[in-house]
Amino acid sequence: MAEFEKANSIGEWFDQRLNTSGFWRVMMTEYWIPKNINFLWAMGALLAMLFTLLLVTGIFLLMYYKPDVNMAFDSVNYTIMQEVAYGWIFRNIHGVGASVVFLVIYIHMFTGIYYGSYKKGREMIWLSGMLLFVLFSAEGFSGYMLPWGQMSYWAAYVITEIFGGIPFIGDELVIWIRGNFYVADATLTRFFMLHVLLIPLAILGAIVFHFYTLRFPHVNNEEGEFFDYKEESEKYLAGNQKESKVIAFWPDFLSKDFMVISIFMIFFFYLVFYHNAFAMDPVNFDKADGLKTPAHIYPEWYFLWSYEVLRGFFFDIAGISGKSLGLIAFGFAQIIFVLLPWLDKSPMVKPANQRPVFKYWFWILMADLFVLTIFGKLPPTGINAWVGFYASISFIVLFLALPYLTKLEAKMVGGK
Amino acid sequence: MFSLIVGLVVAVVLLVVNIVLLKISFVPKELRILTIISIMVGYVYWGFEPFAHHEMHPHVAEASYEFDGKGDIEALEAQAKEIEAKGGDRSALDTEIAQTKEFWSNVVAISELSGNVETGSELVVANCTACHSIESEGFPKLMEDTDAAAAYGVTPPDLSLAGRIYDKNYLAAFIINPVKAMHIEHKYPVTGSKVFPMPGSDWMSNQEIADMVAYLQEVASKVDAPTVADGASDFEIAKAKNKEVFEAACVRCHSMEYAGIDAKTSAEAMREYIGATPPDLSQHIRSRGADYLHNFINDPQRKLPGTGMPRVGLTLEAEKQVVDYMEQIGDSKKQEREALGPIVLIYLTILAVFALLWKKQIWKKLH
């Protein structure tokens, strides 16, 4: 090992030992991002911000929350909301944050779909992102159980019940997941463990991995343009920043992210203070009661579309029970987005509106997801059940048709 | 159905607007994208919140504080029409409508009489204080609450505040026929074996009933304001007054754990009495909301047909005090929240302005 010169500053002392300046350069000032982007490219940083808020408020809530069926409800609604100084703001941020994080995840995800940012070398970005989506869903679901209100209990009951539809092992699986024959204390404590330890650990790992997957294929840009990053970054470093197609992660890209986050936080805290009932369902302010089924059971808004696919099949078709069909369709809906890079056979990496066939597919999918989301909350009776059925069928057909439609598009554009 | 079609049409229009927006080039692109996303988010929000609530909780008649029987008669007539439309026999209902009309016109007639407090006092002492206490007038409880609940089925209310918190017409109607005034005929049908603990006084003359109501009003007007600690804030004084009404109006059956209030009648006795356990009210301001509570308390059968909870006949003012108290207990940090909100939002707005300026400065060299 070479002899160390005496450091002249604290920065230099660390630099000698950790190469902090090299690390900063690689991760920040010479990590290149395309210049041709809009504010939708800030959703990643916004998600990091929201996750941080959830993590920090979660740590504080953990100091007073009691994972026990006899104490959970009051520890949240009395101790935290009324006794602990400013406990209510931590709970409101956590509750609203959980809902808003899904809003931003969906915007992030559909931005990726709209601009074709999941293919031609960017498959791992997409896959790691979908992994995060699954983990956040599990985190959202397990967290929703903790206040032990009526909706916590009955959502847990309905969702764990779904696993009962799996052939052969279903019934045993449900008992294994619940830790009891019904949703009980054992269910609450294990979901508590998942919510505060196992899933957050997995999320932290997946976030690091998601960042890493961006490193080599680089972030997509507004026009889906492929260019030589080495050449463009040399222009930038030579002071020719106006002509270069790239910007530095710090300070260029992050200054824009910071602006978007700051503006978004006004909206977010408005919700936290004045408009939080959409994220904290009124029904959940009734204590859990296994003997009293609420008039309407529905999941949080971000699960409504897949919930509607699950219950869309309300009658038997060709001797297969509606329940099994719903379960198959639900399974399909859960994994199909993951496979998107391989279902899209068109070579075009362009915003959807510049793609002759995909643009129709994209907007029809959006409309179908809106219908599924809205009808996912309504009671599934009369016309509602049929709208749900056709919207579920449309969802499946859209994805089954995608390979053919995009092959057609590939022909139309001649492989470009 | 109509709102459904409107919703779907709106969805199609929005998507077309979105696609058009993508093509308008004189508006800055980022603004167009923001508009598209706001429209989509707003539409989904409308769908899963206001629209879904509207579909799941059908509109019911507005609360009425007149207590003149109009609502009762209208409801019965609507029911009769429905039966008629289905080709059924409405004669039984027509008898009931006629009885109800007569009952309430009598009540309205009583309300126009001027009552004599002296006679009222004698009548109340002779007829009421065997079961009811009037502590402010020195008529004590004759039994402990639990014994009273065991004897009568439910703890009888103290009457000190009755003349203030209950509507005058309602009191008259209640004295004549409590089951009819409370809208719990389904729990105590005339032909059934279950008898409501308090007998009706339909044998009394209208003037006598008016006298009793006048006496109860006189008694209530003399009750002192609840005592509060020296230097209590306006909020605390209002809260103490609200609590007094809440305790008189609700606590015979309901608990309020977060205020340390236990129901005067035990859960077991309540199950005997109405066939259900009344819920603890600590979080009802969150789980039901003020609007629902007002409509519900005014006449529980409207929102929840068949419920065992009676119409208690609170005046609008007393009902407001009850709901306010539920908010002061169930959402006790509301004031703090509303005071902190603007400060946080102003701070964030200033931050956003600086963030915008910083971004512009950084990006100047890039474009």
Quote the pLDDT of residue B10.
75
Q: What are the CA-CA distances from residue B158 to residues B138, B142, B298 (Å)?
A: 11, 11, 21
* B139/B126 Cα distance (integer angstroms): 12
B205-243 in b/e burial notation, b at 16+ Cβ within 10 A? ebebbbbbbbbbbbbbeebeeeeeeeeeeeeeebbbbbb
CA distance A274 to chain B (A): 8
Average confidence score pLDDT of chain B:
91
CA distance A47 to chain B (A): 17
Quote the pLDDT of residue B271.
87
Q: What are the CA-CA distances from residue B22 to residues A260, A359, B36 (Å)?
A: 21, 12, 8
Chain B CA closest to residue A75: B258
pLDDT-based confidence at A416, cuts 50/70/90?
A: low
Quote the pLDDT of residue A1.
58
Mean pLDDT, rounded, for B125-145: 92
Collapse the DSSP code of A273 into the 3-class scheme (helix H, G, I; strand E, B; otherwise coil) and give the result. Answer: helix
Token readout for B179 is 């089951």
Is there a contact between A269 and B358 if contact means CB atoms under 8 Å apart? no
Tell me the pLDDT tens digit for each residue of B244-284.
999 999 999 999 999 999 999 998 888 888 888 899 999 99
Of residues A273 and A316, more confidence is placed in A273
- Residues of chain A in contact with residue B347, where contact means CB-CB under 8 angstroms, are none
Tell me the pLDDT tens digit for each residue of A176-223.
999 999 999 999 999 999 999 999 999 999 999 999 999 999 999 999
Average confidence score pLDDT of chain A:
95
Chain B CA closest to residue A104: B41
pLDDT of residue A226 exceeding 70: yes
B289 has a chain A CB within 8 A of its CB: yes
Say what percent of chain A tops pLDDT 90. Answer: 91
CA distance B2 to chain A (A): 12
pLDDT of residue A415 exceeding 70: no
Chain A CA closest to residue B331: A82
* B52/B46 Cα distance (integer angstroms): 8
A354 has a chain B CB within 8 A of its CB: no
Domains of chain A: 35-217+229-297 (1.20.810.10), 301-416 (no CATH)
Tell me the pLDDT tens digit for each residue of A19-61.
999 999 999 999 999 999 999 999 999 999 999 999 999 999 9
Whether the bond between A251 and the residue before it is cis, its omega within 30 degrees of 0, is: yes
pLDDT-based confidence at A351, cuts 50/70/90?
A: very high
Nearest to B358 among A255, A266, A278 (CB): A255
Burial class (CB within 10 angstroms; exposed 0-12, middle 13-18, buried 19+) of A268: buried
A77 has a chain B CB within 8 A of its CB: yes
pLDDT of residue A364 exceeding 80: yes
- Residues of chain A in contact with residue B47, where contact means CB-CB under 8 angstroms, are 370, 373-374, 377
- Residues of chain B in contact with residue A273, where contact means CB-CB under 8 angstroms, are 337-338, 340-341, 344-345
Largest CA distance in chain A: 82
Burial class (CB within 10 angstroms; exposed 0-12, middle 13-18, buried 19+) of A222: middle
Contact B256, B246 (CB under 8 A): yes
pLDDT-based confidence at B320, cuts 50/70/90?
A: very high
Sequence spans of domains, chain B: 1-58, 73-330, 342-367
A336 has a chain B CB within 8 A of its CB: no
pLDDT of residue A400 exceeding 70: yes
Quote the pLDDT of residue B3.
62
DSSP B17: H
pLDDT of residue B107 exceeding 90: yes
Quote the pLDDT of residue B58.
82
Chain A CA closest to residue B347: A266
Tell me the pLDDT tens digit for each residue of B187-224.
888 887 788 899 999 899 999 999 999 999 999 999 99
Tell me the pLDDT tens digit for each residue of A70-85.
999 999 999 999 999 9
Token readout for B254 is 């309901």
Is there a contact between B337 and A383 if contact means CB atoms under 8 Å apart? no
Q: Please report the residues numbered 225 through 244 in chain A whose beta carbons come closer than 8 angstroms to any beta carbon of chain B.
A: 241-242
Choosing among B2, B296, B337, which should be mutated to test the A contact, i.e. which has the most A CBs within 10 A?
Answer: B337
A162-176 in b/e burial notation, b at 16+ Cβ within 10 A? bbbbeeeeeeeebee
Token readout for A39 is 């504010």
- Residues of chain A in contact with residue B352, where contact means CB-CB under 8 angstroms, are 259, 262-263, 265-266
Tell me the pLDDT tens digit for each residue of A90-138.
999 999 999 999 999 999 999 999 999 999 999 999 999 999 999 999 9
Tell me the pLDDT tens digit for each residue of B37-90.
999 999 999 999 999 999 888 888 889 999 999 989 998 999 899 998 988 888
Q: Using alpha carbons only, what angle is made at residue A228 by residues A225 and A231, rounded to the nearest 5 degrees?
A: 135
Backbone angles phi, psi at A390, to 5 degrees: -70, -35
pLDDT-based confidence at A322, cuts 50/70/90?
A: confident
pLDDT of residue B5 exceeding 90: no
